[in-house]
Amino acid sequence: MNRLALVLALLLVGCPRSVGAPGVDSLSGLTLPLAPSPALRLVVAGSVDDTPAEITFDPAQPVSFVTSKCQRSPSLIARVSVPDPFGPVETFPLARIEGLSLGATRFRPFEAALASGKTCVVVLGAPELRGLALELSPVLRELHFRPSQSRERWAAEAEASGDDVQLLPVTREPRFDWPLLPVRLRQGPKSADVTMLLSLRDARSRLFDEAARGAGLKPGLELLDGLPLPEGVKLPPELAQLRGYAWDSLEFAPGFGLQQGSTEIEPGKPPHAVQGLLGADVWGRFFMTYDVGSDVLVLRRPRVFASGTRAQCARGGVTSEEACFELHSRAVPGGGIDVTATVWRPLPEGARLSLDVTGGTQGCRVGVSFPPGDRGRSTHHHFPWNKLGESVAGCAGAFEGVTALSPGLLEDGPLAECPGVCAWARDAASGRMSCECQPGARTGDAELEKRLLELFKRALEELKPRRETEPRDPD
């Protein structure tokens, strides 16, 4: 018996512990779906061992991060100090992380700073993203990884695409190596050139308050301070929601950028050279490629040809009004259907698009709605979304057997019941409606900003001296 136990012990010593399949050394070649969300976020689903993880990407970070919820007892190897563009340097324990999977792809072991958190979040930083270009499709809500290449090769690809495209050089902060991008903001007669941190993690752009004020910009309703409102005009109470810096345009290059929007306020004074942050609400309006290796940002979108109130878009060798809208739907195993809608032309009046349903009970009418705003907006929804069946009973089982949604009737103007960028569902029998909208859409999608800026311009006109008409000559 003792001899058998000894043999078994020797066998156990000689058998290596199973650690699963070896991880890939690079993410190059991977295409990953973004986590479902009405507003665009550069987040993919994954896991650390058996713990579900939310994975983000941040080339601005000199080290990767994981939260303490990802592993119970991570192997600590050192401590690391990490500079913050918006605050002081912080120190974190450094751990060796194994078992990270992005979708079905297992990644190699890597070192990461250990941060607190209520859920498992992984932030892959510069060491894991070197030599890569991250390519985002807002239309498909997919993230693709490519090898880094020269600016000349990106320029050749841009020219061959036929799109409206800009190649922008990304500079580096001298001390901390943060990726920086200059932009020009216009607010009425004022313009401000600001240096922004390019962030792939943040959903909303931000401006340091003192930097913006120093450039002559004003936040929220302060824009109207000291200005007379036009006669008979009262200040709409909903404008009190505005807290950030509304702008007429944000330009990456002369004539290339976005029209009418806002950035949130970062309180105080910039502690470093960074005056603000560019988030997904800006670069997510384009097909975006950020080459971390060659420091090139490529922003492209279909060309728009406007004649009066009519606009056409050039896409896939075709120029038409229909090319200004893209709709992609995919039936989901287990029930329901995912839909992404993108609009590539400005919508001065807004628009609502009904969707034709293939399969199912036909008991639920569905669509998407966009308020007035600039081009490049997209929204993603799962039909049925959570609690849709509770609010609209006729839609509870209406998506069983649905295989596709396709564009239907397009009408001018947003859906009044669903303010913002939204999906809507209406019970075909009762007419009851439910909406799922992007968070903060009323203040983040230029609808209120447009009204504020229009009032601002009219108030400025009131200040101009009126020209007296010359008396007519007597007959």
In angstroms, the CA 313 to CA 302 distance is 6
Q: What's the whole-number mean pLDDT along residues 227-256?
A: 88
User: So what's the pLDDT on residue 467?
Assistant: 56
Half-sphere exposure of 289 (CA within 13 A, CB side): 26
Tell me the pTM: 0.89
| E strand map for 359-473 | 364-370, 377-383, 404-412, 422-427, 433-437
Query: What pLDDT score does 232 carry?
Result: 78
- The Cα 138–Cα 469 span in angstroms is 54
| 379 within 8 A of 368, measured Cβ to Cβ | yes
Residue 445, pLDDT score: 56
Q: Is the pLDDT of residue 92 over 90?
A: yes
Q: How far is CA 17 from CA 13, 49, 71, 225, in A?
A: 9, 15, 19, 70
Q: What pLDDT, in 10s, does the model give residues 313-326?
A: 999 889 999 999 99
- Residue 329 clears pLDDT 80, i.e. is over it: yes
Q: How far apart are CA 424 and CA 197, in angstroms?
A: 35
Phi, psi of 425 (to 5 degrees): -140, 135
CATH architecture of 23-130: Beta Barrel (2.40)
Whether 469 has a pLDDT exceeding 90, the answer reads no
The continuous run of DSSP H or E covering 155 comes out as helix 151-161
Kindly report, residue by residue over 158-193, the tens digit of the pLDDT. 999 999 999 999 999 999 999 999 999 999 999 999
Residue type, 151: R
Are 23-130 and 139-301 equal in CATH topology?
Answer: yes
Residue 14 pLDDT greater than 50, yes or no:
no
Let me know: does 90 contact 97? Beta carbons within 8 Å.
no
Better-scored residue on pLDDT, 445 or 59: 59
Residue range 300-304: average pLDDT? 96
In Å, what is the CA distance from 415 to each residue of 168, 222, 259, 435?
A: 37, 30, 22, 10
Q: What's the chain's average pLDDT?
A: 88
Q: What is the dihedral of CA 27, 178, 297, 257, to 10 degrees?
A: 140
420 within 8 A of 442, measured Cβ to Cβ:
yes
Contact 139, 378 (CB under 8 A): yes
Indicate the pLDDT class of residue 457, thresholds 50, 70 and 90.
confident
pLDDT tens-digit map of 384-435: 988 888 888 888 788 888 888 999 998 988 888 888 899 999 998 888 999 9
Q: How confident is the model at residue 9 (pLDDT cuts 50, 70, 90)?
A: very low
Rounded to whole angstroms, the Cα distance separating 437 from 184 reads 30
Domain locations in the chain as residue ranges: 23-130, 139-301, 306-449
- The candidate with the shortest Cα–Cα distance to 36, out of 273, 330, 247, is 330
For residue 342, CA distances in Å to 68, 163, 353 come to 37, 16, 11
Q: Which conformational region is residue 176 in: left (phi greater than 0), alpha (psi within -120 to 50 degrees), or beta?
A: alpha
Q: Residue 242 has what pLDDT?
A: 84
How do residues 114-165 score in pLDDT, each as one tens digit? Answer: 999 999 999 999 999 999 999 999 999 999 999 999 999 999 999 999 999 9
Classify domain 139-301 at the CATH class level: mainly beta
Structure tokens belonging to residue 268: 């105080």
Nearest Cα to Cα of residue 291 among 123, 137, 132 = 132
Rounded Cα distance between 151 and 454, Å, is 40
What is the token pair recorded at 188? 């009425």
Give the pLDDT mean for 251-263: 94
Each residue of 269-288: b (16+ CB within 10 Å) or e? ebebebbbbbbbbbbbbbbb
